[in-house]
Amino acid sequence: MRREFSACLNSKKLARFAAGPKLVGREIRSALDDLEDAKLGLIHGRFKWATIQSYYAMYHGARALLYSVSYRERSHYCLRIALQELFVDTHILDRPFLDAFSAAMRLRENADYRSDFSKGGATLLVESAGRFLAKAKQVLSIP
CATH of the domain at 73: 1.20.120.330
Distance CA 121, CA 117 (A): 7
Mean pLDDT, range 60-76, rounded to an integer: 98
Cβ atoms of 35 and 57 within 8 Å: the answer is: yes
Q: How much is the pTM? A: 0.95
Question: 5-29: per-residue pLDDT in tens?
Answer: 999 999 999 999 999 999 999 999 9
Mean pLDDT of all residues belonging to the chain:
97
Question: 73-93: per-residue pLDDT in tens?
Answer: 999 999 999 999 999 999 999
Predicted confidence band of residue 64 (pLDDT cuts 50, 70, 90):
very high
Look at residue 6 in the predicted model and tell me its pLDDT.
Answer: 97
Look at residue 91 in the predicted model and tell me its pLDDT.
Answer: 97
DSSP class of residue 84 equals: I
- Cβ-proximal residues to 108 (8 Å cutoff; 6+ apart), any chain: 51, 52, 54, 55, 56
Is the pLDDT at 70 greater than 90, yes or no?
yes
Is the pLDDT at 121 greater than 90, yes or no?
yes
**Number of structural domains in the chain:** 1
Look at residue 1 in the predicted model and tell me its pLDDT.
Answer: 83
The domain in which residue 7 lies consists of: 3-139
